[in-house]
Amino acid sequence: MFKSPFSFNGRIRRIEYFLSCLLGGAVTAIAFWLGVGTSLIGASQNSGGGFGIGVLIGFAALIGGIWFTIAQDVKRLHDVDKSGWLVILLLIPIVNFILGLYMLLADGTVGPNRYGNDPKNRMPYSAQPTSVNVTVNMNGETQKTETKQIDSF
């Protein structure tokens, strides 16, 4: 879980997407507010250096959190076999809520797709022919019929 979290390549499962939303949001919020607090303390003490460090910490946390979130969104879109460029739709109000729910609830593509292997290691279903032996009891006698191949769909 969380292999190369800042990369845009590959696929992630729903649970990893959910956890990355929680973790990314919490870490970004804490780091951002620590930066804001540091800048306010620096400003209240008339320390330009303290204010600058606080703003730098808050800005770095914000950029890192946004990068992490976009990377996880793109990988989740890859899992449902959609282009990562659809992440731009997250900038549109209401559409971002619907797309977020879709990414959270939609099952990924079974088996490998153009973006990588299935994170659940599932293989696509393919019908396999099965053989059936039929035994018929007629007038107390047992007769065995031939084996037939039945293709299941």
pLDDT digits (tens, 9 = 90+) for 71-97: 999 999 999 999 989 999 989 999 989
Residue 10 has pLDDT above 70, yes or no: yes
Residue 139 has pLDDT above 80, yes or no: no
Give the model's confidence band at 38: pLDDT under 50 very low, under 70 low, under 90 confident, else very high. Answer: confident
pLDDT of residue 119: 84
Residue 52 has pLDDT above 60, yes or no: yes
From CA 151, how far away is CA 19, in angstroms rounded? 42
